[in-house]
Structure 1
Amino acid sequence: MSRTTVLDREVGQALSALSATAKRGLGDPALAELVVIRASQLNHCAFCLDMHLGLARRHGVSQRQLDLLAAWEEAGDGVFDERERAALALTEAVTVVTDGFVPDEVYATAAKHFDEPRLAHLIALIVAINNWNRVMVARRIPPGGYTP
């Protein structure tokens, strides 16, 4: 079965605007890339992984962090700091809503590390990448084709 590669221009623009606004509001491009990469790992989105791994490197994310991101909980404190861990835990909770909600303790930990506006932008960023992942995975868009 062939799948469409078409994405409505207005839909693409809306998703791009949400992503850009959330990243700007978060104010930490390296952390934003860790978040979108982790969600993309969970969603098996090769296109987004390919794109955001390159962007992460450009924003100074270390190769060690990229190599250990899939196992961030086990990587130890020397790899991801508390703020990054809180953002990654929230990313996983929002991306994989297994109990129908984000656990209070995960939200509370994130709220300790992000003021309300940044927390709102972090949540928006997680929602945005999950939207992109689903749009790309549903159509099975392969990696490549992205140029910054």
Structure 2
Amino acid sequence: MSRTHRTQTLDREVGRAMSALSAAAKRGFGDPALAELVMIRASQLNHCAFCLDMHLRLAGEHGGSEERIALLDAWEEAGDRYSERERAALALTEAVTVLTDGFVPDEVYDFAAEHFDQGELAHLIGLITVINGWNRLMVSRRVPPGGYRP
């Protein structure tokens, strides 16, 4: 099947459900700049060009600096460019996204739980889950970057 055949529109019901989940997770998380970092990092790991393009744009709108966004792929080595709270969110993002061992390591979850209350942590996991879902929808359909319109 060619790329053009795969980029057909998403089923409206699925799209509405995913959008509602995205909105609920973002609303309950309350930190739009960090939410965008999380969504960019998951999209990097999942090689989703469409979502990367979209969330890079949104990160700029929420005050994300070019330097911090450019260093995101190497956040663990970026020193003090990211706060402990951001580092906890990014570590959890990677653990949930990759799941190489079939589970999120206790130390990663505990690190996140030190920096987020129960409600924030639930919404953070919701954000990570929904961006992974969006990534898989877009990558499987080979949706190219550039189509995002606010």
Do the structures match in fold with TM over 0.5? yes
Structure that is richer in helix per residue: 2
Q: 2:35 aligns with which of 32, 36, 39?
A: 32
Moved over 3 A (4+): none
Aligned ranges for residues 87-106 of structure 1 at < 5 Å? Answer: 87-106=89-108
Matched, 1:11 2:21: no
Percent identity over the alignment is 75
Q: Kindly state the Cα deviation for residue 20 of structure 1 after the two structures are TM-superposed.
A: 1.0
Q: How many residues align?
A: 147
Distance 1:65 1:19 in 2: 23
Corresponding residue for residue 129 of structure 2: 127
Q: Kindly state the Cα deviation for residue 145 of structure 1 after the two structures are TM-superposed.
A: 1.4
Corresponding residue for residue 61 of structure 2: 58
Q: 1:82 aligns with which of 81, 84, 88?
A: 84
Aligned ranges for residues 38-49 of structure 1 at < 5 Å? Answer: 38-49=41-52
Distance 1:30 1:20 in 2: 15
Distance 1:20 1:49 in 2: 18
**Residue deviations 1:36-81 (CA, integer Å, cap 9, x gap):** 000000000000000000000000011111010000000002x100
Corresponding residue for residue 23 of structure 2: 20
- TM score, norm. by length of structure 2: 0.96
Q: Which runs of 5+ in 1 are unaligned?
A: none
Distance 1:36 1:20 in 2: 13
Which amino acid is 2:117 matched to? D
Distance 1:138 1:119 in 2: 28
Distance 2:137 2:108 in 1: 27
Q: CA RMSD in A?
A: 0.7
Name the SS for the 2:147 alignment partner: coil
**Residue deviations 1:117-139 (CA, integer Å, cap 9, x gap):** 00000000000000000000000
Corresponding residue for residue 137 of structure 1: 139
- TM score, norm. by length of structure 1: 0.98
